[in-house]
Amino acid sequence: MRYTVGIDLGSTTTKAVVLGEHGAVMGRGITNSRSNYDVACQVALGEALINTRFSLVAGELAHGSLPADRATALVADLERRFRGEQYRAQLAVLSKELRRFLGRLLTKPANTAAIVDRILAKMEGEVDALYGAGARRKSDFFRDLAGSRYLGLAEREARATGAPFDLLAGLFDKAILDVENSAEAAGRFEDHARLALASMSDADPALADAVDRVTRVRLEQVGSVGTGYGRARLPFPEGQIRSEILCHGLGAHAMFPRTRTVLDIGGQDTKAIQVDDQGIVTAFQMNDRCAAGCGRYLGYIADEMSLGLHELGPIASQSTTPVRINSTCTVFAGAELRERLSLGEKREDILAGLHRAIVLRAMSLLARSGGVRSEFTFTGGVAKNQAAVSALRALIAENYGDMTVNISDDSIYTGALGAALFARRDAARSAA
C-alpha cells in the first residue's frame, strides 16, 4: 500500500497521520516529544503505521462473512491485547535500563537491586489487569502509565524498607529517557499481533487469516510533510515542511468542510485562523512565544498542584463559582495559585478561573484575526479539556451569538492531517 504521511512536531507531543492511496485516513500515531526529534518522528510514524495495519485488518474482515458487530469487537479485542503486549515489551526495556543505571551507581544500599526487582515484578503482574476488557487507563503513553505505577510502588518500598525514594525515582528518570528513545521498545506489529492472537481463546479463524494477510502487506511511503512548533528541527528537507497555520487550516477544513474560523491552542502557542471554502488561510493571529494561555501553562499548574494534566479539566468542571484570575503568566502561576489556596479558595474554582482566563486570551486573538464566523473549529490538545471547551462555548455565545462549534475526538491530529494532505498533493504533482 502506498501512503503519504504528515507529522506535527509539537512542544509536548508529536503526531503522525497516514493517508492511504485514496486519501482516506488509515492511521494515527502520537508520542511524547523529546530532545531527539528524529526518534520522536520515527515513533509517531511507527504508531501511525501500526494503527494503519489495524485499519487494514478491519477492512479485511469487513469483506468477509462475519457480522459487522462481531468483526468490530474482534478487532477491538485484538488491539487491546496488542497494546498489552507492547506495554510488556516496553517494561522489558525499562527493566534492562534500570539495571544498567543501577550498576553504574558507585554507592547504594545493599537491597536496592532487590527492591527494583520487586517493583518490576509487580508491574509485570499488573499488565493483564491494566489492559483487561473494560479497564480504564488515565493515559496511553508508556511514560505516564509506567511512571505513575513505578513511583507509587517505589514510595511504598521506601516506607516499608527505609530505602531512599529519591534514589529509586532518579533511576526511573534516567531509564525512561532511553526507553522512549529505543526502537526496540515499540516492537513490530507482527510480533505483538501474534502474541495477542495467541491469548484470544475465542478468536475467529478469519481474524488470524486477516492478520496474516495484513502482516504481509508492504507499506510504501510516497510523500511526507512536517509541521509544528518544532518544524525547524524536523529531519525533513526544507521543501517538505509547511507552517502550522496552513496545516491547521487545511486539516480543520478536511474534518469539517464548512469551517471558516479555527482556533488551535497547543502546548506552546495559540493560533486564530480564518479560512475560505477551500481551507485556504485568509488571515491569522498568533500569540508571542510566551507560554501564557497555552497548554504548557496548564502543565505548570498541574505540576504545582501535583495533578496529572488530564485531571485539570474534570476538577475545574466541578466549580460553581470560578475565581477571577489576574494573570496567566507562567512565571507567576505558582505564586498566584498558592496565594489563592491560602485565602481559602476552592481548588475547582481556581482551576475554572484559570481555564476561563486562558480562553479569554484566545478570544482576543480571534477578535484581531477577524472575529468568529460559523462554522468554528477548535483544534489542538487543549480541545480535549472539557473545562476549556465549556469556557470557550460560553464566551463565543456571549460575544458572537449562536454559532456551530466543531470539536473532534481527533482534534489533536488536525495539524498532522493538514500536513498529510499537503504531502498527498505534492506526491500527485510529482507523479503527474
Domain co-membership, 304 together with 391: yes
Residue 227 covered by a domain: no
Looking at residue 54, its pLDDT comes to 97
Picking from 171, 203, 235, the residue at the C-terminal end of a domain is: 203
Domain co-membership, 198 together with 263: no
Looking at residue 121, its pLDDT comes to 97
Residue 276 covered by a domain: yes
Residue 90 covered by a domain: yes
Averaged over 244-248, what is the pLDDT?
95
Domain co-membership, 152 together with 266: no
Domain co-membership, 193 together with 291: no
Residue 224 covered by a domain: no
Tell me phi and psi for residue 35, to 5 degrees. Answer: -65, -30
pLDDT > 70: percent of the chain: 94
Domain co-membership, 269 together with 171: no
Domain co-membership, 263 together with 403: yes
- Poorest-pLDDT segment among 33-37, 59-63, 362-366: 33-37
Between CA 134 and CA 425 the distance in angstroms is 41
Looking at residue 276, its pLDDT comes to 97
Residue 389 covered by a domain: yes
Domain co-membership, 183 together with 262: no
**Cβ 105 vs Cβ 148: under 8 Å:** no
Is residue 332 predicted with pLDDT exceeding 70?
Answer: no
Q: pTM of the prediction?
A: 0.88
Buried b (16+ CB within 10 A) or exposed e, 250-283: bbbbbbbeebbbbbbbbbbbbbbbbbeeebebee
Averaged over 273-277, what is the pLDDT?
97
Domain co-membership, 265 together with 401: yes
Q: 234 or 207, which is more confident?
A: 207
Domain co-membership, 168 together with 101: yes
Domain co-membership, 266 together with 394: yes
Q: 28 or 232, which is more confident?
A: 28
- Say which CATH number the domain at 296 has: 3.30.420.40
Is residue 330 predicted with pLDDT exceeding 60?
Answer: no
Q: What DSSP line would sit under 175-220, residue for residue?
A: HHHHHHT-HHHH--HHHHHHHHHHT-TT--HHHHHHHHHHHTPPPE
Please name the helix (run of DSSP H) or strand (run of DSSP E) that holds residue 262, with its range, or none: strand 261-265
Looking at residue 358, its pLDDT comes to 85
pLDDT > 90: percent of the chain: 60
- In 3D space, the residue among 232, 223, 175, 231 whose CA is nearest the CA of residue 426 turns out to be 223
Range of the domain at 177: 67-203
Looking at residue 334, its pLDDT comes to 66
Domain co-membership, 280 together with 190: no
Domain co-membership, 84 together with 151: yes
What's the number of domains the chain is made of? 2
Residue 234 covered by a domain: no
In whole numbers, what is the pLDDT of the chain averaged over residues? 89
Is residue 299 predicted with pLDDT exceeding 80?
Answer: no
Scan for cell 449562536, then name that residue: 402
Specify the DSSP class assigned to residue 263.
E
Looking at residue 16, its pLDDT comes to 96
Picking from 186, 203, 220, the residue at the C-terminal end of a domain is: 203
Picking from 203, 229, 249, the residue at the C-terminal end of a domain is: 203
Looking at residue 77, its pLDDT comes to 95
Between CA 355 and CA 340 the distance in angstroms is 15
pLDDT band at 431 (very low <50, low <70, confident <90, very high): confident
pLDDT in tens, 400-419: 999 999 999 999 999 999 99
Residue 219 covered by a domain: no
Averaged over 286-292, what is the pLDDT?
65
User: What are the DSSP E strand ranges found in 20-130?
Assistant: 25-32
Is residue 285 predicted with pLDDT exceeding 90?
Answer: yes
- Poorest-pLDDT segment among 210-219, 244-253, 272-281, 342-351: 342-351
Between CA 11 and CA 78 the distance in angstroms is 32
CA atoms within 13 A on the CB side of 301: 33
Residue 10 covered by a domain: no
Most confident of the ranges 104-108, 286-290, 358-362: 358-362
